[in-house]
Structure 1
Amino acid sequence: MESKSSKAMSHSDPEPVPGLGKSPALTRSVQTQLGQRLRQFYESLALGEQPVPDRFIEIINRLDQGQPEKKQS
């Protein structure tokens, strides 16, 4: 049985991601905000409200061709 002195996780503590074996570096609230913004961005792309950035097209084309991404220095 756990003692009452053990640290309870709060919403500001990073929560473990199943399958990764260790906690992410981002808090749950930051993960939620990022997820919401990404969903909004992708939705605007899907609806044609914004053009797909050239960088995304370049990465997708490389993935389709099986080429690794160039390292930038």
Structure 2
Amino acid sequence: MLRAMNQPSDLPPQPAEYYRRKAARARQVAEGVTTRAIKLRLLELALEYDKLADGTESATRPPPDLSDI
């Protein structure tokens, strides 16, 4: 779970829900951690997963219909 997020990967992107689950799990683990640095890193990781989910959602969203303009 703590793999660097900016490392290139040959794997296809995961669905947004995958990243949302990872973010939720990182937050859940952070709740039980007593070491401040680890807790902060887990919360940062959760935010990174949220950004990945947002990016995945926007990449898979169909373009807006501009024919009415």
TM-score when normalising by structure 1: 0.30
**Higher helix proportion, which one?**
2
Q: Which has the larger radius of gyration?
A: 1
